[in-house]
Amino acid sequence: MNGQTVVPHFNHGAHELMDVHEVLSAAIGALNLKTILRPHVKDQELLNILDRQYSFALDEYNMLVECFKTGKDPSHRTSSYKMATENDFTYGLKPSSQPKKPMQSISEINDEMISGYLLGSAKAGAAGKVPAALESTNPVVRRVLQDSIPNCIEMAYELSIYQNKHGYYQVPRFDDQTMEQIFNNYGTAEGPMYKMQ
């Protein structure tokens, strides 16, 4: 290309093409996973989360495909995923009745596993979109990717809250003295920024 300008749908660098290819392939996998798991969900709350996240993720996927192929703004603006739950966590560890181990049969699948698969999928989506956004030369693709990263984080957070509420995701804590000590290891900086002479 030797520094020449290119038509909008070809203004992508090689890293961007490969990273977005990975993001789109992972998005298809995540959407397919939701479709496969949906019939096995027993809890209505988890089913509602799965359906809301599926619809939102499908729309994001379609927007990314659209701007990736055209190099132009998608047909509608990106939006923010909104959780339908509070931010309440229960802290502490409780002994589990059974150690975790791999399934031996599909009949063992349950809401704990399903919510865990969905959580892992949302985390992987965020992890894949960060390098893709950093490598994107097309400004529209970069913006769509960067706008979707907080949505992956929000979906993962919603799923972790769901898991915590049902005892699937325990959150250990340090004792108050240890926490206080760690907090006090840091202080704010004051004064003007150092300037080179």
* Domain extent at residue 56: 9-82+108-183
Q: Does the residue 74 lie in any domain?
A: yes
Q: Are 90 and 165 in contact (CB under 8 A)?
A: yes
What's the CA gap between 174 and 180, in Å, rounded? 10
The per-residue pLDDT string of the chain (197 residues; one tens digit each, 9 = 90 and over) reads 455 555 555 666 677 778 889 999 999 999 999 999 999 999 999 999 999 999 999 999 999 999 988 888 899 998 999 998 888 888 988 887 788 889 999 999 999 999 999 999 999 999 999 999 998 988 999 999 999 999 999 999 999 999 999 999 888 889 889 999 999 899 888 877 776 66
Is 100 part of a structural domain of the chain? no
User: Which phi-psi region, left, alpha or beta, contains residue 120 (left: φ > 0; alpha: ψ -120 to 50)?
Assistant: alpha
Q: What are the backbone angles phi and psi of residue 92, rounded to the nearest 5°?
A: 110, 160
- Which CATH number characterizes residue 72's domain? 1.20.1260.10
Residue 160 lies in a domain: yes
Residue 120 lies in a domain: yes
Angle between helices 111-135 and 44-70 (to 10 degrees): 20
pTM for this entry: 0.86
Q: Is residue 140 part of a domain?
A: yes
CA angle, 78 as apex, 77 and 84 as ends, to 5°? Answer: 130
| d(C-alpha 34, C-alpha 117), whole Å | 9
Q: Is 175 contained in some domain? A: yes
* Other Cβ atoms within 10 Å of 61 Cβ, number: 18
155 part of a folded domain: yes
Asked if residue 170 belongs to a domain, the reply is: yes
Distance CA 91, CA 174 (A): 10
Number of domains comprising the chain: 1
Tell me the Ramachandran region of residue 78: left when phi exceeds 0, alpha when psi lies from -120 to 50, beta otherwise.
Answer: beta
